[in-house]
Amino acid sequence: MMLDVENLRVGYGSLEVIKGISFNVREGEIVTILGSNGAGKSTTLRTISGLHRAGSGRIAFNGEDITRSSAARIAGSGLCMVPEGRQLFPDHTVLENLELGAFRRLRAGQSRAVKQDMDELLEMFPRIRERVNQKAGLLSGGEQQMVALARALISRPKLLMLDEPSLGLAPILVRSLFDTFKKLRDSGVTLLLVEQMARMALSICDRAYVLESGTVMTSGSREEILDHPGVLEAYLGKAVNA
Amino acid sequence: MSAHMAGRWALSVGLLLLVMAPMVTPGTYYLFMLILVFIYSVVAIGLNILAGYGGQISLGHAALMAMGAYTSALVSKGLEVSPMIVASGLNVWIGMVAGTIVASVFGALLAYPSLRVKGPYLAMVTIAFGWVIWKILLEWVSVTGGELGITAVPKARIGSFVLTTPYYYYIALAAVVMAMILQRNLIQSEFGRRLQAVKYSEIAAASVGIDVYHEKVKVFIISAAFAGFGGALFAHQQNFVNPDSFEFFSSIFFLLAVLFGGAGTLAGPLIGVAVLTLLPELLHDFDRIRLIVYGVFILVTLYVLPKGVAGVFQRRPGSVAPGFSVEPIDKNRSDPAPVAGTDNPAVVSDAQSSPLLEVQGLSKAFGGLTALANFSFTIMPGQVHAVIGPNGAGKTTLINLLSGFYKPDAGTIRILGNPLKISSLHAAARLGISRTFQTIKLFGDMSSVENVMVGFELHSETRLWDSLFRTGRGRNQEQLRFEEAKSLMEFVGLGDHVNTPANALSYGHRRLLEIARALAVRPRLLFLDEPAAGLVSEEIDTLKDLIASLRRLGIGILLVEHHMDLVSAISDHITVIDYGQVIARGDPASIQRDERVIEAYLGTTADDA
């Protein structure tokens, strides 16, 4: 088991947001967490990556307990998150932002491999290639989202957690993005995906968990979830035309 | 017993003890110390309003206090030539009023030029101001008495009755109680909400029509008045004033007291001043290492309690905002009353046939990069016009141009036939333009309903006077605004989150809250920048209905959105741009068939809509 979350509880002050959830992610899988706004999806990811303290419960990454580890340590062990809302270094150029993402690999002397990955990433996001020497803060919202993704990918994470990666991206890009996720999975990266475009997420994932008010309402393989009438109704919209 | 009741009890008991203190304290030394605590607290409360709630750091408050002290000393001494005034004892009280006014005037003189800058720059300017005033006090010997200062400052009197220390104690106590009440009234009013809104996001505050710069100047003047009044009280307690009391270190002391007690809390300044004034007295036994112990104590406290002492008792998320009677929300009520009100410009404007917004030849470049080129379009009342296009095509630039955030390089913008000149950020809201932001800009940990209430800025009839003294009119207005804001929140589907702090809302809900706030402006034109980002499909359906009912009210809507389901369902007209150029326009059906649009934006396969 790559990621194992057991009976996790998280709160803000007196308000409990995550009320004892358990789930896991196996190596080489794409797992998606669905749920409406306020269900606790982002909080779950933030807690796993060490940005928020767990109230109780246990989080293990590759068998190692990381429940109380610092965010930097967790990221260093290969568990990387792309946060909702970009969070780039606005005064640095796009290229510098990407190099910061590769910081650990560059320090380990993998500059040739980093360069190759960089080329591949820029291939994937041609819009960024045009702006590689511009300050990240001057990019449009969607372009910043692409840079944030590229910055996470270039660190070659073992497990990549994505919080709403499609946010603000044009439809044509959303498609290529999800194709990229599939390619990443095939190249050995494990993905944990929080996404409001549930249909998109379900089209590429292996398994899904559905959160509701801080608890796991249902879970199962992609097919099981797609057959689940309640989920279809609530998260996929009624006008299904796919 | 609720925390609120417990707080009231503690307050009453504390006040009673303070009232009784002169009767039980032997000698005047401790009374003297307590008077100092009260006087410093008045100054610190003023600084707390400015720095704690307003986020503007001043390191020149001792100088403002000096203005009050010197003015009051000079005026009250000067009036001693008139026997009548001396007999009534009015000279001192007149001096205090004069001191407060002069400090406010100097506050204004300092604020107008220096509030154009912010953050560390403002702090620097106030430090310089403090130095200049201090130097003037030292050098202008003929007026200020130089290093020796002004001696024989008259004692406060009522008629011929001299208010000696035990009596002056009550004056100082009354002053601090009054300062506390005024602080509470200000903060828990429209003024306080605006103040905090500016602290959290100047851009968002301007977008609902708040004149950010004047708001900051106003609070600085109020803060200076508190400092001046404290200074005047100080002059007549000490009976002499000299520059020593108003050195740079005193300004630091006040800021430290506010931070230590808890910046942005009502009790913070009082607690901070009390501890920092009385502690050195209690540490007499430590003798030579006294100041070291004092410093370490402050350091450790601020390390352990980063929000200050009073921060520990702050209200928790989810608790009720003070000052409002909150009854359970009636779920059946969903009429958009506030939007449909008779004073809604959108409804009043019956010019259904003439365009709300006309844009012609609009262009904008950043450096050599064309963000928008020769862009033209119109929005009729009750029309939804969507602008779509690849990332970086210039969509947000368009909204920023139309709402006054950028100046166009070329082109004309007409609203209801009148050429539009948007001179400042807050001017757009006055013209009936309201917007949401792609990167959400809400007012931090203010409750959701308060966020919406800030949006009523332009429609408020509350004066500063009403806030300061909690007039009946002011209270009625508040309750009315609260009800209106609540129904706006119900209208966008956030009825269950009225008292949730804005930053505790989930991403999608924050977007809806921004829409509610934008509607509070009662716009003719609403610009929505990716409103559906982060919403699940159920919520997008709600958003669809929401936009449909806004359209029925005659509001013109400019929609920038990637969610094609929403765009095609709700738009009357779509313009597609790429690299700042229009590549297609038309109704939703024709746009979805357009080859260029499919190639540049939608993608070739249509298996996922």
A161 and A242 share a domain? yes
Check CB contact of B600 with chain A, cutoff 8 Å. Answer: yes
Rounded to a whole number of angstroms, the distance between the first and last alpha carbons of chain B is 56
Residue A5 lies in a domain: no
- Specify if A61 maps to a domain: no
- The verdict on residue A14 lying in a domain is no
Q: What is the CATH number of the domain that holds A36?
A: 3.40.50.300
For residue B489, what are the contacts with CB-CB under 8 A and spacing of at least 6? B448, B449, B452, B495, B497, B498, B513, B516
Of A14, A37, A127, the CB nearest to B392: A127
Q: Say whether both A144 and A222 belong to one domain.
A: no
Q: Same structural domain for residues A74 and A188?
A: yes
If asked whether residues A163 and A136 sit together in one domain, one would say: no
For residue B288, CA distances in Å to B231, B278, B279, B296 come to: 31, 17, 15, 14
Cα–Cα distance for residue pair B443/B101, rounded to 1 Å:
33
Q: Residue A31 pairs with which residues in a beta bridge?
A: A192, A207
In a domain, A210, yes or no: yes
Q: Do A164 and A236 fall within a single domain?
A: yes
Considering the domain boundaries, does residue A106 fall inside one? Answer: yes
The confidence band for A86, taking pLDDT boundaries of 50, 70 and 90, is: low
Range of lowest pLDDT (A157-161, B193-197, B317-321, B491-495):
B317-321
Span B527-541, pLDDT tens digits:
999 998 878 777 888
- Tell me whether 0.85 is exceeded by the ipTM: no
What pLDDT does B3 receive?
A: 64
Among residues A95, A122, A155, the one where a domain terminates is: A155
Q: Answer whether B198's CB lies under 8 Å from B458's CB.
A: no
Average pLDDT of chain A, as a whole number: 85
Check residue B604 and give its pLDDT: 59
pLDDT band at B269 (very low <50, low <70, confident <90, very high): very high
The reply to whether A146 and A166 lie within a common domain is no
pLDDT exceeds 50 at position B320: no
Residues A220 and A163 in one domain: yes
Average pLDDT, chain B: 84
Q: What is the pLDDT of residue B19?
A: 82
Judged by average pLDDT, the poorest of A193-202, B75-84, B412-421 is: B412-421
Q: CB within 8 A of B131, min separation 6: which ones?
A: B248
Quick check: B314 contacting A, CB < 8 Å? no
Q: Which of A125, A49, A32 is nearest to A87 (CA)?
A: A49
Structural domain includes residue A8: no
What's the whole-number mean pLDDT along residues B97-122? 87
Q: What is the pLDDT of residues A73-83, one digit of tens each?
A: 998 888 988 87
Residues 6+ apart with CB under 8 A from B289: none
CATH number of B440-522: 3.40.50.300
Q: Where does a domain end: A155, A186, A206? A: A155
Range 101-140 of B in CB contact (< 8 A) with A:
none
Report pLDDT digits (tens) over B570-608.
Answer: 999 999 988 888 888 888 888 888 888 888 777 754 444
A41 and A133 assigned to the same domain: no
Residue A235's pLDDT band (boundaries 50, 70, 90)? low
Q: Who among B535, B540, B562 is closest to A171 (CB)?
A: B562
Whether B307 shows a pLDDT value over 70: the answer reads yes
Task: State whether residue B439 sits within 8 Å of chain A by CB.
Answer: yes
Q: Note the pLDDT of residue B353.
A: 66
Closest partner CB to A235 (pick from B389, B536, B609): B536
Asked if residues A9 and A55 have their Cβ atoms less than 8 Å apart, the reply is yes
Shortest CB distance from B506 goes to which of A38, A131, A168? A38
Q: Which domain holds residue A228?
A: 25-53+70-78+157-242
What is the chain B residue with the closest CA to A234? B538
Mean pLDDT confidence for B567-572: 91
CA A231 to chain B, closest CA, distance in angstroms equals 11
CATH number (3.90.190.10, 3.20.20.450, 3.40.50.1370, 3.40.50.300) of B349-432+523-609 reads 3.40.50.300
Sequence letter at residue B313? F
Domain locations along chain B: 28-247, 349-432+523-609, 440-522
Residues A184 and A241 in one domain: yes
Three-state SS sequence of B68-90? HHHHHHHHHHHHHHCHHHHHHCH
B349-432+523-609 and B440-522 share one CATH topology?
A: yes
Is residue A50 scored above 60 in pLDDT?
A: yes
Q: Which of these three, A115, A138, A155, is where a domain ends?
A: A155
pLDDT band at B327 (very low <50, low <70, confident <90, very high): very low
Long-range contacts of A128-132 (CB under 8 A, 24+ apart): A128/A94, A131/A94, A131/B392, A132/A93, A132/A94, A132/A95
* Domain contains A12: no
> What total of structural domains would you count in chain A?
2
B504·A15 Cβ contact <8 A: yes
Asked whether B130 and B251 are in contact (CB, 8 A), the reply is yes
Confidence of residue B313 (pLDDT cuts 50, 70, 90): confident
Domain co-membership, A164 together with A231: yes
Chain center to CA of B395: 30
Does A114 map to a domain? yes
Please give the pLDDT value at position B323.
Answer: 44
Summarize the confidence of residues A120-129 as an average pLDDT.
Answer: 83
Taking residues B195-222, report their average pLDDT: 90
Q: Please give the pLDDT value at position A239.
A: 41
Each residue of A205-217: pLDDT tens digit? 999 999 888 899 8
Q: Contact B508/A37, CB-based, under 8 Å?
A: yes
The pLDDT tens digits of the residues spanning A128-145 come to 888 888 888 888 877 888
